[in-house]
Amino acid sequence: MWSWVLHRITGVATFFFLFVHVLDTALVRVNPETYDAVIDTYKNPIVGLMELGLVAMVLYHALNGLRVMLVDFWSKGPKYQRVMLWTILAIWFVVMIPATVRILFNTFAGH
C-alpha cells in the first residue's frame, strides 16, 4: 500500500513541478529580463535540495510505473510484485547515489 501512496504523491508533485516549469519558461516570451530574474532566484542551496528531491521523485515514479504495468499486464506480475518492488527500490537507490553526489556538488561547490 505504501508504494501506491508514494506513487500517487510523486505523480502529483511531478505534475506541480511541470506546471511551475511551464509557467516560468513562458516568461521568456513575455519578458526575458523577468525570466532571468526568476531563474536567478533558483540559484540557491534550498532549490538545489529541491532539485534532488525532484530527481528522487521522478525516478521512483518512473520505476514504480514500470512495476505497476508489469503487475497489471504480465500474467505472473501479481505473484512477483513484492520482488519487483524491492528490485525497483534497489535500482532507485543505486541510481540515486551518483545523482545525489552530482547535484550536491553542483549545489554547494560547483559554482
Q: How far is CA 5 from CA 10, 12, 24, 46, 102, in A?
A: 9, 11, 29, 25, 28
Query: Is residue 21 annotated as involved in ligand binding?
Result: no
Length of the chain: 111
Is pLDDT of 38 > 70? Answer: yes
pLDDT digits (tens, 9 = 90+) for 21-32: 999 999 999 999
pLDDT digits (tens, 9 = 90+) for 92-109: 999 999 999 999 999 998
Residue 81 — pLDDT band, cuts 50, 70, 90? very high
Q: Look up residue 108 and give its three cell numbers.
A: 554547494
pTM: 0.88
Do 95 and 56 touch, CB atoms closer than 8 A?
no
Q: Which CATH number belongs to the domain containing residue 60 in this structure?
A: 1.20.1300.10
Question: How high is the pLDDT of residue 111?
Answer: 62
Which domain, by its residues, includes 11? 1-109
Residues 97/99/103/109 CA torsion (nearest 10 deg): 60
- The count of domains in the chain is 1
